[in-house]
Amino acid sequence: MIKTKENNILSIMIKVFVICVGLALTLMFTTGCDKKEKKPANTVSDTSSEEGEGKEESVNLLELSSKDFAVEMGNGTNLGNTMEAYGHKEGVDKETSFYETCWGSPVTTQETFDYFKAAGFDSVRIPVAWTNMMDFENGDYTINEAYLERVKEIIDYAYNDDMFVIINDHWDGGWWGMFGSKDADKRKAAEELYESMWNQIAEYYKDYDAHLIFEGGNEEIGTRLNDLDEDFNPKGAILSEDECYEKANEINQKFVDIVRATGGNNENRFLLIPGYDTDITRTLDSRWKMPTDSADDKLLLSVHYYTPWSYCGATGEVTWGTQSDYEEMNTLMENLSAYTEKGYGIIIGECSVGPTEEGKMKPNAILWYTNLYANCDYYGYVPMLWDTNNQMDRETGKWIDDSMDSFFKEHALSKEKEFTTEEVKENAKIVMDNALSEAPETFQEEKKKKTKKGESVAWIMWNSGDWGISYSVGDEYNPDQTTEGLKTTDVTVDGEGTYTVALDFTGTANGFSNSTAFSAVGISDGEDNFPGYTMDIKSVKINGEEYTLQGKPYTTSDDQHCTRVNLYNSWVNAIPEDAHTIDGDTKDVSPTILSADNLGEVETIEVTFDYVKP
């Protein structure tokens, strides 16, 4: 047969195909041992020593209980200040990178997640502000598909590194305050926005397997449903505390119902329910309830841990690590286990000791992390570092301190699975017990001598406007929580009388406090030792000069133990029911009797008050 030109070309093509197939098979058999075999959907590998060293078996995630699923998530981090960065006010039609970077974070890449994985993280939480590209003010709740697609790309980066992923709706510009608005139309719009948003999210990502977890909100599902906002809730709030609890329960139930109704993988997806304010104590309140669920054992609980905030959140040189510090953490973690005892897996969705203003680790930060993560190992919680690119550089993978690098690598799930579950718990308990026994009673020997157990002490709680200076913020008097160089005048309260407390900032690094972000006068155990007493502010001096109060103060108690008068507390949206004053009139009282706008550089503050028995 005579071969035509076409026959010759066909013959060549067949030979090339055969050669390519051969090369492919050769590569597969010669290099296959170096490739990572893709796992089936919804499974993880179990290499626990309980099953025999070196043995690998697949575990079906959907067959796990909520608590066991949490254990498989290992430890995690947050992609903070990124997809939840809020640029909505600049328009809803910009490139997604505009919103992603508007709070200073770099554009997220696959390399970002490679760094996360190499650092020892097996899970990542991706906070999201979905209204960035939503014209919701005009009643259009459609999320621009470009934003949905960009979040999908980031989810896929995590999947490429075999990580679990959480996506939520975060602060999101503060629209959550619409739920408690005096304006009925605003309240209706909040309901419509939430339902539409989660229907879209659930539908768009429904084909992802169980490595993707939906979280119904963030810290806003609680008292912040009453948030005042000039754009979203300018007319004020109407919800009482009881009603805030009711609304929080209602929102969480709606979230579960919406996701389940979208079908597909969402019928059995693990869902993360934000606790009340994501605060441990408030979530343990009997008024807060976990939602019901059509799926069996698929709900997880989320709380955050930044205790004490004056250490974790401030940027000054504050330290941590006294016996009372350890006891506080251990007690809160133990209390939280009430939910694991009910069968719920628990995720500490955010936890962190933020760096100093100079970008350095705070003193004893590793001690704080070590004890917190030991508690998480002991009780089976999932800790997730809150990082906004200020602790691990996402473009280089470098930590601000080598001790953090080694700490998180040692807490990778692969390291922990070298031990049995019981061995992990035993090791964690040893770490916790040793840390507590070795902790000093106080860092402030002088004040220890002055303060006897059971006494009430009056002091000024303080956070500077830039969070660089703090002193004993919280309902428990703790003079160890102080910025270096700060001089304080705290006094013992023994009943009715006139008392003066003060702070002197001239010895701190800057020599002054830059205004205030929070401040109050507190009396430790005042409610216990002097029930019903009222604090009547007589004088406030700033830098030695009499200061004109910007509102009428009131006496209250957050925990029913510590008595306080707020000097500047912008987070109070409704006057508490237990508020009382010397004249009995609480109509025009205010939690902000100082004006943060006109304080300026505070070198000293002195507060004089009468403590009066009713």
Give the span between the Cα atoms of 443 and 304, in whole angstroms.
27
Tell me how many degrees the CA angle 385-387-390 measures, rounded to the nearest 5.
Answer: 140
Tell me the two tokens of residue 179.
């739920």
Residue 396's alpha-carbon distances to 10, 82, 116, 158, in angstroms, are 51, 17, 11, 17
- Give CA 216 to chain center in angstroms: 14
* DSSP string computed for 460-505: EEEE-TTSS-EE--SSS--TTSB-TT-EEE-EEE-SSEEEEEEEE-
- For residue 215, give the amino acid letter: E
Longest dimension (CA), the chain: 120
Per-position DSSP letters for 68-134, written without gaps between them: HHHHHT--EEE-TTTTT---GGG-SSS-HHHHHHTTSPPPP-HHHHHHHHHTT--EEEE---GGGG-
Run of H or E residues at 201: helix 184-204
Contact 460, 475 (CB under 8 A): no
Q: One-letter amino acid identity for 393?
A: D
* Given 72, 100, 350, 606, the catalytic residue: 350
**Contact (CB, 8 A) for 469 and 481:** no
Residue 506, burial from CB neighbour count under 10 angstroms (0-12, 13-18, 19+): middle
Active site includes 220? Answer: no
| Cβ neighbours of residue 423 closer than 8 Å, sequence gap 6 or more | none
Q: How far apart are CA 48 and CA 418, in angstroms?
A: 6
Distance CA 168, CA 149 (A): 15
DSSP letters, 439-450, are S-S-S-HHHHHH
Cα 508 off chain centre by: 29
Query: Which tokens in the block code for residue 147?
Result: 């934003």
Query: Which tokens in the block code for residue 607?
Result: 């507060």
Catalytic hit among 72, 219, 220, 606 = 219
CA gap 151, 205 in Å, rounded: 10
Q: What are phi and psi of 444, to 5 degrees?
A: -115, 80
Enter the tokens of residue 61. Answer: 């995630």
Is 219 designated active site? yes
| 343, amino acid identity | G
Which are the catalytic amino acids?
219, 350
